[in-house]
């Protein structure tokens, strides 16, 4: 991991961000990344999956009525969790959270950072409000069951293709990919199922769970309360 110069460290510490998105949401890996980077973060908690009122709250920030949304120090707004994480990795290379453009790991990194929202995260738009696509109440239960199975299958496919974590998903250093998978693996169909479907990735994810640099962050923004692995917390 590259060492940070004093000027680079100072720049990160002076940067101020506003992050829209509730604890446990897609804003969580972004917040974790900013924590490791050492930037200042103001949070605006909005849980868009809970109600129409919550989605309306964020509509003035993101017309898609989704989180995360990140207000940059420049005043520009970014949305889409993968894009934000990729941008932060490139913006703060001293943090070592993303392979450089000329790194042999860059292609693998980009592949899986895009796979996660394309194959898994996108399914939560309809899961959060099944009537968006499935108006029949009886059919909604089937949709929820089958989409959960699809998510589990996608985790399994990723686990069989990504390579052996050593000790993290891209090798020796924790990356944005580890943060993204660590948070998303706690969503449906829960971490316990993820551990069964993706045992190799599970080993890397547990290292992120236990990273002392993130201990206070997890406790505040996505705590490991009793039953969390089965989704009861």
The three-class DSSP label of residue 1 is coil
> Can you name the residues that pair with 43 across neighbouring β-strands?
19
Cα–Cα distance measured from residue 127 to residue 216, given in angstroms and rounded to the nearest whole number: 30
Is the previous residue joined to 189 through a cis bond, with omega within 30 degrees of 0? yes
Helix, strand, coil percent values for the chain (each to nearest 5): 55, 10, 35
Q: Where are the alpha helices (DSSP H) in 17-132?
A: 27-37, 52-59, 81-91, 106-115, 124-128
What pLDDT score was predicted for residue 49?
86
CA dihedral 157, 158, 164, 166 (to 10 degrees): -160
Among the listed residues 180, 171, 37, the one whose alpha carbon sits nearest the alpha carbon of residue 103:
171
Cα–Cα distance measured from residue 65 to residue 190, given in angstroms and rounded to the nearest whole number: 25
CA dihedral 148, 151, 155, 158 (to 10 degrees): 160
Structure token digits, residue 148: 């959960």
The three-class DSSP label of residue 80 is coil
Each residue's pLDDT, cut to its tens digit, for the chain (233 residues) gives: 454 554 455 589 999 999 999 999 999 999 999 999 999 999 999 988 888 899 999 998 989 899 999 999 999 999 999 999 999 999 999 999 999 999 999 999 999 999 999 999 999 999 988 998 998 988 999 999 999 999 999 999 999 999 898 999 999 999 999 999 999 999 999 999 999 999 999 999 999 999 999 999 999 999 999 999 998 53
Whole-model pTM? 0.93
> Are 208 and 169 in contact, with CB atoms under 8 Å apart?
no
What pLDDT score was predicted for residue 182?
98
What pLDDT score was predicted for residue 1?
47
């Amino acid at each position: 991991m590259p060492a940070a110069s004093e000027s680079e460290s100072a720049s990160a510490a002076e940067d101020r961000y506003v992050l829209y998105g509730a604890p446990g949401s897609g804003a969580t890996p972004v917040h974790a990344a900013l924590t490791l980077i050492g930037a200042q973060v103001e949070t605006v908690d909005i849980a868009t999956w809970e109600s129409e009122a919550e989605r309306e709250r964020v509509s003035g920030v993101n017309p898609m009525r989704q989180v995360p949304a990140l207000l940059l120090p420049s005043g520009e707004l970014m949305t889409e969790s993968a894009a934000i994480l990729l941008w932060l990795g490139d913006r703060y290379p001293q943090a070592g959270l993303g392979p450089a453009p000329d790194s042999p790991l860059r292609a693998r990194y980009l592949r899986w950072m895009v796979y996660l929202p394309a194959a898994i995260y996108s399914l939560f738009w309809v899961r959060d409000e099944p009537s968006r696509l499935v108006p029949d109440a009886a059919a909604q239960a089937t949709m929820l069951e089958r989409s959960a199975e699809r998510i589990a299958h996608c985790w399994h496919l990723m686990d069989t293709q990504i390579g052996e974590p050593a000790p993290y998903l891209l090798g020796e250093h924790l990356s944005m990919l580890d943060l993204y998978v660590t948070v998303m693996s706690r969503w449906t169909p829960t971490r316990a199922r993820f551990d069964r479907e993706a045992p190799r990735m599970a080993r890397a994810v547990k290292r992120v769970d236990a990273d002392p640099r993130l201990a206070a962050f997890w406790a505040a923004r996505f705590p490991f309360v009793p039953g969390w692995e089965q989704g009861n917390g």
